[in-house]
Amino acid sequence: MTISKAYQRDILGLAFIISSVLATLYILLDISALFAYLNHEEKIASIFIHESIYFLIFLIPPYFIAKYMNQKDTIK
């Protein structure tokens, strides 16, 4: 039993959106940590950095998902 191309494209699109949002959250947490550190709030900065590490893995998948989705076989 195989997944049709339409469902496969929809699932990949949803995975791309979710990964992109979580990667953006990683970047926003790091920027917030930087601002907290510059305002001499080391405890808050360390919490932001600690929480952002979990989202680091979501930086890589959007690239590969988009690359796979842009192949001619996947789009048809």
CA atoms within 13 A on the CB side of 21: 6
pLDDT given for residue 73 in this prediction = 66
pLDDT given for residue 74 in this prediction = 58
pLDDT given for residue 13 in this prediction = 85
Instruction: Decide: 76 and 5 in contact? Cβ < 8 Å.
Output: yes
Q: Residue 68 is encoded by which pair of tokens?
A: 């796979």
Exposure b/e, 33-55, CB count within 10 A at least 16 = b: beebeeeeeeeebeebbeebeeb
Mean pLDDT of 14-36: 92
Q: pLDDT for 37-75, tens place per residue?
A: 999 999 999 999 999 888 888 888 888 888 887 776 655
* Statement: the pTM of the whole predicted model exceeds 0.85: no
Cα–Cα dist 47/25, whole Å: 14
